[in-house]
A and B are shown apart, each in its own frame.
Chain A
């Protein structure tokens, strides 16, 4: 997915530049709304309607349905915003990160110096 990596040349990395931000604006706007508890309830009550309301396109909706955080990143989702979606769905930072690395959470934790410091 390497339009971004062509621009920046950093492997395994999606630098959140204006082009990626524009691509992911609907995702990030939706995720930002989830900082409010009443919106988290609305989201959980009807995910599809909530995504449509914020104008996510089909690819973005599919990535959300699959909880595919890497794909969401490639489509312009920014982690700082989609952590609020993660919080709504009960997906924390480390499981999200392990998934982006293509690892189980358990294997990811083995790569850490002090896995108790969470």
Chain B
């Protein structure tokens, strides 16, 4: 049986990708960030040893246009290409998919009333790409894990509610656990934390909110799932509203979780958050 072995929350920011590609790991402005991800990268490599990563993200006007915009879209391919966002393709290997596992997820999730758009081709922009090399080491043409991209519309309202994202995560857990193969699955929710890139309020960051979010998503995700978009965007900025994608990850975890690592850094225009969770085994035995 397949099983969810870790849940990760991680921001996605283009400047992190640039810093990575330009090897700014020891640049004083960037070192705190790369150091902050290092313990999680090590934990994933040495203990978690995932086979497949389901990564929840949004596209940023790269692969999906407003002419037809899916609310949720799932990759069902064996390969996903790195997109060109207008500055050239990042020097990262393309990603191997797991089409059989995706097919199972598609069947299970649609049967479970999540009517997804299914994609045989999907190029991946920074929404997907940012976290990957910070969490998994790759060489020139290979990743150590397969991926399943799960796109969420967070750019054109109406966007799904936090509650809907949370429930989708719960459905993903059921779907994973009904897959006969012994796969070790990590769910990554990306986006946020606070930031705003439009209007006079450009540059808005709310560190207190972000730090609370990193704690509350562990202890009271249901309360976060009940927040309206207006509440989240007022506190966390218009583009910060995308942090509902973390709730999909959280819904896929057990009700009780254990924090493996937490990191926060807000250097420029985004509160960058990282959270690594696993199911709380003690609580599971008891229940």
Indicate if the CB atoms of A14 and B266 lie closer than 8 Å: no
Residues of B contacting A34 in the complex (Cβ-Cβ under 8 angstroms): 86
Indicate if the CB atoms of B157 and A17 lie closer than 8 Å: yes
A99–chain B nearest beta-carbon distance, Å: 9
Q: Would you list which residues of chain A between 60 and 118 have a CB under 8 Å from chain B?
A: 70, 73, 78-81, 83-84, 87-88, 93-94, 97-98, 100-102, 108, 111-118
Give the docked Cα–Cα distance between A102 and B15 (Å). 23
Indicate if the CB atoms of A117 and B15 lie closer than 8 Å: yes
Binds A, one of B44-52, B183-191, B193-201, B219-227: B193-201
Indicate if the CB atoms of B156 and A101 lie closer than 8 Å: no
Main secondary structure of the interface of B (DSSP, over half): loop
Of the candidates B156, B198, B267, the one whose C-beta lies within 8 Å of that of A100 is B198
State the interface size on chain B (CB cutoff 8 A): 38
Residues of A contacting B287 in the complex (Cβ-Cβ under 8 angstroms): none
Residues of B contacting A98 in the complex (Cβ-Cβ under 8 angstroms): 202
- Say yes or no: is B29 at the interface (Cβ < 8 Å to chain A): yes
Residues of A contacting B62 in the complex (Cβ-Cβ under 8 angstroms): 35
Residues of B contacting A87 in the complex (Cβ-Cβ under 8 angstroms): 86-87
Most central of A25, A31, A35, A93 by chain B CB within 10 Å: A35
Indicate if the CB atoms of A32 and B28 lie closer than 8 Å: no
State the total of A-B contacts with C-beta under 8 angstroms. 121
Task: Contacts A28-B61, A113-B267 given; indicate if A97 touches B203 (C-beta within 8 A).
Answer: yes
Indicate if the CB atoms of B202 and A100 lie closer than 8 Å: yes
Residues of A contacting B198 in the complex (Cβ-Cβ under 8 angstroms): 13-14, 16, 73, 78-79, 100
B172–chain A nearest beta-carbon distance, Å: 26
Indicate if the CB atoms of B15 and A118 lie closer than 8 Å: yes
Using CB atoms, name the residue of chain A closest to B87: A87
Give the docked Cα–Cα distance between A13 and B200 (Å). 7
Indicate if the CB atoms of A29 and B201 lie closer than 8 Å: no
Indicate if the CB atoms of A112 and B197 lie closer than 8 Å: no
Give the docked Cα–Cα distance between A11 and B86 (Å). 31
Using CB atoms, name the residue of chain B closest to A102: B200
B238–chain A nearest beta-carbon distance, Å: 5
- Say yes or no: is B111 at the interface (Cβ < 8 Å to chain A): no
Most central of B27, B61, B155, B266 by chain A CB within 10 Å: B61
Q: Would you list which residues of chain A between 1 and 54 have a CB under 8 Å from chain B?
A: 8-18, 21, 25, 28-29, 31-32, 34-35
Using CB atoms, name the residue of chain B closest to A97: B202
Indicate if the CB atoms of B60 and A13 lie closer than 8 Å: no
- A98-B202, A102-B200 known; 10 new pairs, CB 8 Å cut-off, are A13-B199, A16-B238, A29-B65, A35-B85, A94-B269, A97-B203, A112-B203, A114-B29, A114-B267, A117-B33
Can you name 13 A-B pairs with beta carbons within 8 Å? A8-B230, A14-B199, A21-B66, A21-B156, A28-B66, A31-B61, A35-B84, A78-B155, A78-B198, A97-B202, A100-B200, A111-B203, A113-B266
